[in-house]
Amino acid sequence: MKVLGVIPARLNSQRLSKKLIKNLLGRPLIQWTWQAARQAKKIDRLVIACDSPELAEVCEKFGAEVIITSSEHNSGTQRITEVIKKIEAEVAINIQADEPLMSPEVIDSLAEDILSDDNILVDTVIRKMDDESLIVDPSIVKAIIDKDSFAIYFSRAAIPFVRDKNTKTIFYKHLGIYAYRTKFLKLLEGFGPSYLEEAEKLEQLKILENGYKIKTITTEFDTIGVDTEGDFMKVENILKGRSGGK
């Protein structure tokens, strides 16, 4: 199998209790994410990697293939690494469970890009932004890239720092979806603690700190990670707009 799509899902969340099963226009939030991912043409198989029987039951009711993984994992990447030990695939795509607005076109573009070059071990997605409130918001992860679209750094800070306000600057928002060569995921599992990862609370920095590259592709699509009640309401309003207010 070429491409395995995995939605790592944890029931408990700190800022918005049990957000993945919260009712969003008549469906649990995670169902919206799953339905969007199912529309991607480049995914050969899609699974939800749950941490609890309660969440698994909810997902199975709407037809998802579910694998229950350890509740001890600290990240979605660790959850996916457990899954690929059970399901063989060349590439695994990490689709964030709390992003119901994720576009299937983004998933397909990511899959196409990593499959186009055997040397790409990790691939992710960025988009240009110019909203000052987002640029300075620490909940929005920013990226800077080199001339070949490989990531130089990711940060919650506004990077690059603009010393001269007349300097033309491009800011990129990082969308938290990744494509991994599964052979690299198995290697990543053995990496020790990362100073940068701990400082910024961004797990992709462990990859850069260990000297590996992360390829990026640029998209016009955007998404919203649902971390708070405010995020939930934003997503709800967008989905209402798409369905004509229903």
In the chain, the domains with their CATH numbers are: 3-242 (3.90.550.10)
CA–CA separation, 81 and 58 (whole Å): 23
* 244 or 234, which is more confident: 234
140: exposed, middle or buried (C-beta count within 10 Å: 0-12, 13-18, 19+)? middle
User: What number is the average pLDDT over the span 150-175?
Assistant: 93
Confidence check: pLDDT of 40 > 90: yes
**Which residue is listed with tokens 């409130």?**
133
The predicted pLDDT at position 114 comes to: 98
| Residue in the block written with tokens 């397909």 | 108
Question: Is a pLDDT exceeding 60 seen at residue 193?
Answer: yes
Residue 216 sits at φ, ψ, to 5 deg, of -125, 150
d(CA 131, CA 12): 31
pLDDT band for position 244 (cuts 50, 70, 90): low
